[in-house]
Amino acid sequence: MTMDRIFAAAKAVLEQDGIAGLTIRKVAQSAQMSTMAMYRHFADKNALLNALMADGLRAWEERARAIGTSDPMEWLEELGEAYLDFAITEPHRFDAAFFLPAPEARRFPDDFAAGRSPVLTMAMKRIEEAQAEGRIGDTPALEIALALAALGQGLVSMHRANRFSSETQFKALYRTALHQCLASFQSARRTR
């Protein structure tokens, strides 16, 4: 219960004051507890950032694991759709997962190549399945997965910065760009 209260308070502070305004003191005030009580749960701001990031990544992993299709190309498309839905419906958890400067955040390329990102590992498995079926070219699966992730995160960042005239326009462009990115890796095999 206390952790839920702390996470709710931290999300409220993030929404109101941004990452720069996220302090143990502000979160404690928002959670209606003393700063000393906060320190029993989190040693410092970095520990809070790591916990928020881990919570966001767990939520993201749950969404990815819920994708039901066995077709690897459909799975990749649905993963992109799940990412879009996560960004729109749970923006604070999404931000915690992908935008917080948490010290324990995964680093490219070693953490991803070592399989420390469950969702990226799932995506790489689907990419390798599609490659084995001749549906995607021989670009390394890690490179394809990171290209898809970077595309999604970049478009979400643009949306958050109000670079689209509407959410409808953003969603349409996001889906088109994701589809075209996947298609570009498909055509890579045909042209070789």
Question: Residue 43 CA to chain centroid, in angstroms?
Answer: 25
> What is the per-residue pLDDT for 168?
96
Round to whole Å and give the CA distance between 132 and 123: 14
CATH of the domain at 3: 1.10.10.60
The radius of gyration of the chain's CA atoms, rounded to the nearest angstrom, is 19
Round to whole Å and give the CA distance between 60 and 152: 14
Overall pTM > 0.85: yes
Please tell me whether residues 64 and 131 are part of one structural domain. yes
Instruction: With CA atoms as reference, report the closest residue to 120 among 88, 91, 152.
Output: 152
Round to whole Å and give the CA distance between 29 and 146: 39
Q: Which domain holds residue 20?
A: 1-42
Where does 31-90 have alpha helices with state H?
35-41, 45-65, 72-89
33-85 pLDDT, tens digit per residue, is: 999 999 999 999 899 999 999 999 999 999 999 999 999 999 999 999 999 99
Please tell me whether residues 139 and 75 are part of one structural domain. yes
136-187 pLDDT, tens digit per residue, is: 999 999 999 999 999 999 999 999 999 999 999 999 999 999 999 999 998 5
Residue with token string 């890690």? 142
